[in-house]
Chains A and B, each alone.
Chain A
Amino acid sequence: MRPLYENLPFICMFIAIVCGVLSAVIRDGQKAYRLALTMTAAIAVLSAILLYCLYTENVSFVYSMGRFAAPYGNAIKAGPLQALMATAFAIVMGLSLLGGGQSLFHDILPEKQGLYFVMTDLLLAGLLALVYTNDMFTGYVFIEITTIAACALVMAKDTGPNLIATIRYLFMSLLGSGLFLIGLTLLNSITGYLLMEPLAKAVAILAELGQYHRPLIVSIGLMVVGLGIKGAMFPFHLWLPDAHGGATTSSSAILSGLVLKGYIMLLITLMTRVFGLELTREVGVSNILLTLGLLGMIFGSLAAMREYHVKRMLANSSVAQIGYIFMGLGLGTEAGIAAACFHILVHATCKPLLFICAGRLSTVSGHHRSLKNLRGSAYRDVAAGVGFTVGALSMIGIPLLGGFVSKLYLSEAALDSPFMAVVLLTIAASTVLNALYYVPAILAIWVRPPWEEARIILLDVKPEETRFDRLFFFAAAVFICLIFLLGIVYHPILNIIRVGIQLM
């Protein structure tokens, strides 16, 4: 008799899909909203239980779906790392919906609100499947499901620029998944498998014998580039600022915090479980990831510095932060991947916090978005001001906050790399660049503008919008606690990640 907790990953995905279908039937925005929140809470609890069981027993397991046994059937595989990510994804999704709730119901037409939550529910199902899948083709199918749901989240606001941002995002994503699919086809044609474990064995044999060397490299390259495009790797990030910056607050938080991470988790699974780190280093994929990651760290920040629109600034900063993650993966060592996974958690808590705080600050300032018009807005909602400050300081890398720890571990992982000097210098430069746009933003929201200017802005503010928002306050407080948690008690979390990578 196998332990009962092995059913949990499947149950989580199933709950998410069922809730998505239910929301489509309910159609009432408020009810669907509550359903989505309950669902994320339930999935977070179930995933946390799974994490506890797997971590204490130090195991990972394969759970076959359907009647066909390996190597033909479909399967999911869960270990401590997957359970940790699933827990984090569910928590962040719930908090992003809570924090952006007010502007969500303001931005989206009432008759479309129910449908929005269909998309969030399906998105969570897609992300969980990307984390848990043990089958390449299932991975591809859920990449597409996640893409469609994410595009729908971008276009939910239904303004002109939004639609254009969506179509650009959609085409870029389709390009990425097309490349992934043809890479998958090539790999399947030279190995004959789709399930990850037999595939890994076949790949190892091919690599050892030197057979089909070129098709192997091409297929690895296509899959990595495909996932890189979807994960906003530099220079394939041009769709991101408009898509993430223009969407409604919750969408921006979910897209930046979670959707990119789902694809990156699949990439990590491929690198560790299927190809093996040695092979990725050998064929040069690691070096490409490292180079593009480093470039992303610099150019993302440079683009953010030029931005005056607060949400687009945050979106450009995401490009830089994703650069850190790709850089960690590009080191091609377990330490690098562990640091990258930790940075995934850090960015998944900081960026949604920044987005919901920026959204709240712009709500209390009459829906103005440019930093100039947000001056002094932190005094109109102190919680949002504090949240924005904590998030920004964490992104810069101030000690006691999560961002510091991930930078520390990324640098430590870089010490063994042949490119140590370049990596360390880039981390230092990127930290300075981060400070160069986050510090002015923090100053802007805390410094009171001259009275005449403030009065013009206050004319646009509706009194009911400045009322204390309980749900937002709760979400921001939890996010701040999580950032401090990641910055102070990072040891157990890194331990889970390390054990998880061992048990991939």
Chain B
Amino acid sequence: MLEAISQNRFAVVAVILFGIGLLNMMLQQNLLKKVIGFSIMDSAVFLLLASLGYIEGHGAPIVEEGNVNASLYINPIPSGLVLTGIVVSISVTAFSLALIQRIYRHYGTIELTELLERAKKEED
């Protein structure tokens, strides 16, 4: 049992982090905390991806001229995915932060329950 956990320590940590992020995103009422939850969730996925491509003792896949030996390098594809994922995550975070700022200027609060009440009143 313990051995299995220590072998899969990255996966275990990633799942715990994913759970923390997911719950924060679902249950927090503060919009900023929701964004933080989302960031944690995405980081967990990136940790999992990066650890999946890592092979103990192998180096970064930078190929030198005339020296192509696949057994020296880690698997580069997950690392590439992590990079793309980080770009996506950053742009989404920036977008939501801008949106939250706009909401704050409009209503003066970023608590979701309060905002929903205010919006309902505004419509009636």
Contact = CB atoms under 8 A, between A and B. Distances in A.
Interface stretch (B45-53, B55-63, B64-72): B45-53
Given A174-B38, A194-B77, A164 B92 contact: no
A306 to B, nearest CB: 15
Contact of A178 (B42, B77, B78, B122): B42
Residue of A148, A155, A171 with most chain B CB atoms under a 10 A cut-off: A171
Contacts of A408: none
Interface residues of A, number: 28
Given A164-B119, A175-B25, A144 B106 contact: no
Interface stretch (A182-190, A314-322, A333-341, A478-486): A182-190
A170 B118 contact: no
Contacts of B102: 163
B: contact size bracket: 35 or more
B107 to A, nearest CB: 6
Contacts of A170: 92, 95-96, 99
B103 A163 contact: yes
A166 interface: yes
B22 A164 contact: no
Interface string B96-118: 10011011001100001001101
Contact of A171 (B38, B52, B88, B116): B38
Contact of A181 (B34, B45, B106): B45
Interface of B: 18, 21-22, 25-26, 31, 34, 38, 41-42, 44-45, 48-49, 52, 77-78, 81, 84-85, 88, 91-92, 95-96, 99-100, 102-103, 106-107, 112, 115-116, 118-119, 122-123
Q: 10 smallest A-B Cβ distances: which pairs?
A: A161-B119, A189-B52, A144-B88, A164-B119, A163-B103, A178-B41, A160-B106, A164-B115, A182-B45, A174-B38
Given A160-B103, A161-B123, A175-B25, 11 more contacts: A144-B91, A163-B99, A163-B106, A167-B103, A170-B95, A170-B96, A171-B38, A178-B42, A178-B45, A185-B49, A189-B48
